[in-house]
């Protein structure tokens, strides 16, 4: 699917993951956006569900090994009950404007309620996806050339200062977190898996992904929550300080995806 940038509200890594009703039952009733499942068995597959009011509106799945792409009802037939050995699952939330654009651009993926046989689908000839140039893509989806204002609203904006903010935070945020936990933990294993910043509607949005494992002398109830809160505050304070030095006078929204594991020594 071609999708706007949304706001991540859930991220998890799963083993022996099955695509079933449980995935959709966990969604908040007013959720509007998409679920992405990036899974692996014999091959790697990338699946998307466009969701509104706990209902799947559109879907597609791509087999990255064979280049097979299934859309709409075919995708749902393939995905229903599908099992992945390992998978990452992410929920991305949209506002009304983003959802409407996603629906219009991905018209071929909209479900029509057609009953499809999974056996017939997998026999389809593998046709590599065509690479469309910009003009062909706009014509195909009947999209008017977007204004600069629309582009910024959908995907956010980067400028030299935003890029400088990303680079400075990437180089220092881990060392600041380590120093913050010097007295609380012993051996640490920490890595920054991703850091992205963009400007949209007078706010700076930062998506931060951190893996953090450490040993503690005493593993107490509620300690993991305390660690999470402290890491979130350290990350946010670091970004705010970098924004101040760069003269970025905007509101800040931090989306922290933290894989935290505490072990008792």
pLDDT in tens, 174-213: 888 888 765 555 556 788 888 888 887 788 988 888 888 8
At 241, the pLDDT band (50, 70, 90 cuts) reads very high
Residues 128 and 58 in one domain: yes
Q: What is the predicted pLDDT for the residue at 146? A: 52
Instruction: Show Cβ contacts of residue 64 under 8 Å, excluding neighbours closer than 6 positions.
Output: 43, 44, 45, 46
Residues 197 and 149 in one domain: no
Residues 90 and 172 in one domain: no
The β-bridge partners of 254 are: 206
Q: What is the predicted pLDDT for the residue at 29? A: 85
Lowest-confidence pick of 27-31, 98-102, 117-121, 151-155:
151-155
Q: Which one, of 55, 16, 62, lies nearest residue 36 by Cα?
A: 62
Is 260 part of any domain? yes
Q: What is the predicted pLDDT for the residue at 35? A: 92
Is 80 part of any domain? yes
Q: What is the predicted pLDDT for the residue at 123? A: 60
Token couple for 100 = 């409407």
Residues 22 and 118 in one domain: yes
Please tell me which residue, 241 or 115, carries the higher pLDDT value.
241
Token couple for 6 = 């949304």
At 101, the pLDDT band (50, 70, 90 cuts) reads confident
At 131, the pLDDT band (50, 70, 90 cuts) reads low
Residues 249 and 179 in one domain: yes
Is 74 part of any domain? yes
Q: What is the predicted pLDDT for the residue at 244? A: 93
Q: Is the Cβ–Cβ distance between 231 and 211 less than 8 Å?
A: no
The top-scoring range by mean pLDDT among 139-148, 215-224, 251-260 is: 251-260
Q: How far is CA 87 from the centre of its chain?
A: 13
Is 1 part of any domain? no
At 132, the pLDDT band (50, 70, 90 cuts) reads low
Is 116 part of any domain? yes
- Taking the complete model, does pTM exceed 0.85, yes or no? no
Is 130 part of any domain? yes
Residues 150 and 89 in one domain: yes
Q: Which of 154, 170, 202 is the last residue of a domain?
A: 154
Residues 59 and 86 in one domain: yes
Residues 79 and 23 in one domain: yes
Give the chain's domain count.
2
Please tell me which residue, 146 or 18, carries the higher pLDDT value.
18
Q: Which of 139, 154, 169 is the last residue of a domain?
A: 154
Q: Which of 89, 124, 154 is the last residue of a domain?
A: 154
Q: What CATH number should be reported for the domain holding residue 252? A: 3.30.300
Residues 30 and 85 in one domain: yes
pLDDT mean over 58-78 = 88
Q: What is the predicted pLDDT for the residue at 152? A: 47
pLDDT mean over 155-162 = 74
Residues 131 and 220 in one domain: no
pLDDT mean over 164-177 = 88
Q: Euclidean distance between the first and final Cα of the chain, in Å?
A: 46
Residue 154 predicted with pLDDT over 70: no
Host domain of residue 177: 157-264
Report the mean per-residue pLDDT for the chain. Answer: 81
Residues 12 and 115 in one domain: yes
Residues 132 and 203 in one domain: no
Is 176 part of any domain? yes
């Amino acid at each position: 699917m071609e999708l706007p940038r949304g706001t991540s509200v859930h991220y998890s890594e799963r083993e022996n993951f099955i695509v079933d009703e449980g995935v959709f039952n966990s969604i908040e009733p007013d959720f509007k956006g998409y679920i992405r499942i990036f899974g692996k068995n014999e091959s790697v597959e990338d699946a998307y569900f466009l969701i509104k009011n706990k209902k799947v509106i559109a879907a597609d799945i791509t087999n990255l090994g064979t280049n097979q792409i299934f859309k709409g009802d075919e995708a749902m037939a393939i995905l229903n009950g599908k099992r992945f050995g390992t998978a990452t699952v992410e929920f991305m939330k949209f506002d009304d404007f983003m959802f409407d654009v996603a629906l219009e651009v991905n018209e071929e993926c909209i479900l029509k309620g057609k009953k499809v046989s999974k056996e017939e689908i997998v026999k389809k000839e593998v046709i590599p996806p065509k690479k469309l140039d910009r003009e062909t893509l706009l014509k195909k989806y009947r999209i008017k050339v977007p204004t600069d204002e629309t582009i910024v609203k959908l995907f956010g904006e980067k400028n030299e200062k935003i890029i400088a903010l990303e680079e400075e935070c990437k180089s220092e945020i881990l060392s600041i977190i380590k120093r913050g936990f010097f007295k609380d933990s012993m051996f640490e294993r920490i890595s920054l898996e991703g850091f992205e910043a963009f400007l949209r509607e007078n706010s700076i949005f930062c998506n931060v992904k951190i893996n953090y494992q450490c040993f503690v002398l005493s593993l107490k109830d509620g300690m993991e929550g305390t660690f999470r809160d402290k890491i979130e505050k350290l990350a946010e304070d670091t970004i705010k300080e970098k924004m101040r030095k760069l003269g970025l006078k905007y509101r800040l929204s931090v989306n922290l995806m933290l894989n935290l594991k505490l072990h008792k020594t």
